[in-house]
Every structure is written in structure tokens, then in C-alpha cells.
Chains A and B, each alone.
Chain A
Amino acid sequence: MESTPWDPEGVTVALDPRGRLAIGHSAPGLDLKVLYRALVAGRCLDLRASRANVVHWTSAAGEEAALMAPALVARTGDWIFPGLRDAAVALARGMEYDVIAAALRGGRGFGDANLRLGPSTDALGMPLPIAAGLAHAQKLREPGDITFVLFGEGLTTTGVFHETTMHAVHADLPLVFVCRSQLWPFGAPAEAGQVGDSVSERATSCGMWVRRVDGADPIGVYNAVAAAAQRAREGKGPSLVEVVVTRLREDTPAHRDPIERLRLHLDATGVWTQHFHETVETEILRHLDEAFAAEVPS
């Protein structure tokens, strides 16, 4: 398959656009059906929230691998700091459907100390240093536990991002930055804050361990996040995984959809069936419909 303007450059590919594992790549310790289910759950939640007229909602369809990989890699003792729109992470972390629906419609956001989900904040970028502080406490008090912080590439133009990465590297914190970079096939606008460089290059320049992967390749994303997490658990310090994502609400080629790419792979290996897909989707949609119906104001 020929490369299109939608295919990112400089990424490590595990699952190619036809759904084939690249030579030398595998998915050790990963149940691909669990990954598939998580991605579908994230997509269903995204579509349901889009239909529910949630204020300020912007679809994250196409970004599921970057959201779900940290949630699948994280252990009970770990913390995850999701972004404002990252409801799918809360779902994967075990938050009840009705609590998620309520949080999307108002309230104080997805933060939950029991689920070890960091709070969303109004102030741009503030989850980054809070997550770094939490990782610092883990390093001092609970070695082996780690923290993930999820954000978009727009934040990397802020001082808070650079101050936090510098501090994390200096203090060797068990912190995994997961940055979703939007793909700009026809050139980035000024708002993207990029001048020909990439987020991973910025993080590399301060001495961070970095991997740049394709958000349409869910196995590649999972493997990179799992490797970063392993380093953090072993006391080797912070890392940044840059996931280049394609927003599917734009008119994008099918191979840019991480769910479709994984489906091709599972189909070719005899794991995927229409029945399996429908079972997964029906169950999630039923929960979502109940949760959102309960929340409609009378």
C-alpha cells in the first residue's frame, strides 16, 4: 500500500496499514481481543457523547489507541491524568457508565482518587505538573507505581510543558507523558505551534526517552506505552510517547482508523467474527444508552 499524505513520517510501525504485523514486531502479553473491545468502547462512548450535545465536546474518534493503551498498561496502584475530553480513559479505568454520563453533562469532571484518575482542570496544562508531583511522591514512597499524563500537542507550546519535562528528567520521575499529535497532511496552522519540528524532537532535546508511533497502529501504541511504563517502574525515569493521531471526523482513508486496522489483523488471524464485534458493541451501547437516558433532564 502506498503512503498517503495522511501517513505520519518517522514512526515505528508494528501493525501495517493492511493489518499485518511488521517483521520483528509482536504483541507480547497483550490480549488483542481485550484491546479491540477497549477501542470499540472508546469509539461508542465518543459517538454517544457527540449525539448527547455535550457542551464543548469535540469528537476524539481515531484517537482511541492513545487513550486506551495507558489504561490497559496501568496497574491498580498507578495514576492516570486524562485530558478534558478523555472520558474513554475513565471508562477503561472502571468508572461506572452513569457516572461518566453525569460527568460529561456537568459536575466536577472525571477525577476520582479511588480509581486513581487525576482531575481535569480549567487551567491549561496544569495536569502535567500535578502528575509530575504525584510521580515524585510515588518515587519517594511507593517505588514501582507510576503515573501517566495524557495531553495534546498544543500544550507543548506552553511553558508548563517545558518546565514539567525538565523537572521530570532532573528528578528521574516515574512519569509517562502520552502526547497526541494531530496529523496535518497539508501543513500545520500557526495554532499548532510547530515550526517543522515534532513533539518528540522537543522532548528528546531535554534528554527524555522518546518513542513516536502511529495512532492508527494500536499495537505499536500499546508496545511503546508498555515499554515506557516498564522503564518508569524500573526507576529509569520519565519518557514521552508521541502518538500521531488522525481525526476521523475529517475525510480520512480507512486505514487511518485504528479499529479497522486491528479488525483486519484479527480477521486474518481468524479471531474476529461479525458475531464477536456485534456482541461487544451491543453490550457497550446498551450500557451507554441506559446511562445517557437516565441523565436526560425531565
Chain B
Amino acid sequence: MTAAPTSAPATGGAALADDPAWAAAVPRIGRSFRFQWEPVQNCHVLLYPEGMVRLNQSAGEILNRCDGQRSWAAIIASLEKAFATSGLAGDIAAFAGMARQQRWVEWD
């Protein structure tokens, strides 16, 4: 197996951003995935049973911070600081919703 993750319970990014509890949640990499840097491919990847998702730089930076220690709020702050910018919350919420749907990340 197996296919790239395609379907899972529907929790869209938009809905997530409207959920006030969301930013306090502490995400970790999904149980069936391993997240790592691949020098040969020059990108972060998610590995799962017999499969791989190549991540672009933004996705890699976000998932790199999903360490089970930091809340989404802290991750947003960290990224805004690292990239000297602001207003990332909406984009990150959208990514978080998608990533949870794909089970790349999970939180309680």
C-alpha cells in the first residue's frame, strides 16, 4: 500500500479558524506518519506506510513546530517571528485544518 491520504472526517480550515479553542490546541505529528528532512530531495517529507508526502517549505516549517509541546498560538507566533511578518493565523488555520483532515497532525 498505500495511497496518499485523500479522505477523512471533514473539518475544513475555515471552520477551524472560527473555533476559538483551536489556537490553544497542541498539535503533534499523526501517529501513522514520520516527519523528517530529506537532503537528497531538499525538502521535508512525511513518511507513512509505504508512502511519502513531499512538503513545500511553508508546510515543512509549520510541521517542524508541531512537536506536541507548543500550541497553535505559539506556533503562529514562532513563524511570524522567524519570517519577520504578521497575519499568518488565517493561512496556518487553513493548513492545520487540512493537515488534520489528512491525519498528518493530531491534537486532543
* Chain A bound to chain B: no
